[in-house]
Amino acid sequence: MKPLATLTDDEFSQLVGRAVRELPDAPPALQKAAIALWPAAGPGAVLSALAAAVVAQIQAVLTFDSWTVPAVAAGMRSLRSPTRHLLFSAQGRDIDLRIVPEAGSFALAGQILGPDESGSVQLEGGGTPRSAVLDGLGEFRIEGIHRGTYVLTLQLGGDSIVLPSVEVGEPLA
């Protein structure tokens, strides 16, 4: 992408055309609804009241997946650990997740590293949602999970942290 200052007149004109065509106004109803999100607080509203007006929901980001680490030498793939190790981060918390194969199913074991002293996790996908409470070390374990796609949500200190969906087991062909 060239800086605006280096564009020729023709290039600048084309870019303006794209700006008009690719950035249309959002429908007025959407704009109005977004403006209405403002909490009905008068002037001088304190920050904390503003923060509390909307439930915090945070999207965690995947930072490591042991199954996507490239093999360093031929034949390494066959040695891949059956336990998959995933790391996520979300606003000051690190989430360490392990998917461990068991007899005919899997266990999801994890630990939350962060400022929260308590919390819970909920696993959705593959039928009835499952949940677990963090222990004193911020650890949890959910067993008897079948192959499939799941979404894990953490409730920590007033925040709801949603992890990207996780494939448990080898993806079905």
Partner 1 sequence: MTVHDSPEDDAALVDRCRRGDATAWAALVRRYQRLVYAVVMRAGFDEHGAADVFQTVFARLVQHLPKLTQPDRLQAWIVTTAKREALRAREIGQRTVSMSRDEGDESPGLEDTLADEAPQAEDALSELQQLHRLRLGLDRLDERCRELLLLVFRDEDEKLGYDEVARRMNMPMGSLGPTRSRCLDKLRRLVEAV
Site residues for partner 1 per CB under 8 A: 1, 4-5, 9, 12-13, 15-26, 30-31, 33-35, 37-39, 41-45, 47-48, 50-51, 53-57, 59, 151, 162, 164-165
| φ, ψ of residue 130 in degrees (nearest 5) | -115, 155
Distance of closest approach, residue 37 Cβ to partner 1, in angstroms: 5
Residue pointed to by tokens 């093999």: 71
Distance of closest approach, residue 29 Cβ to partner 1, in angstroms: 8
Determine how many CB atoms are found less than 10 A away from the CB of residue 139. 13
The residue among 82 and 164 lying less far from partner 1, judged by its C-beta, is 164
For residue 70, CA distances in Å to 73, 86, 99 come to 9, 15, 19
Distance of closest approach, residue 65 Cβ to partner 1, in angstroms: 13
The residue among 33 and 76 lying less far from partner 1, judged by its C-beta, is 33
Distance of closest approach, residue 130 Cβ to partner 1, in angstroms: 16
The residue among 81 and 131 lying less far from partner 1, judged by its C-beta, is 131
What are the tokens at 164?
């990207």
User: Which helix (H) or strand (E) element contains residue 16?
Assistant: helix 9-22
The residue among 66 and 149 lying less far from partner 1, judged by its C-beta, is 149
For residue 161, CA distances in Å to 25, 37, 87, 119, 149 come to 31, 21, 14, 11, 18
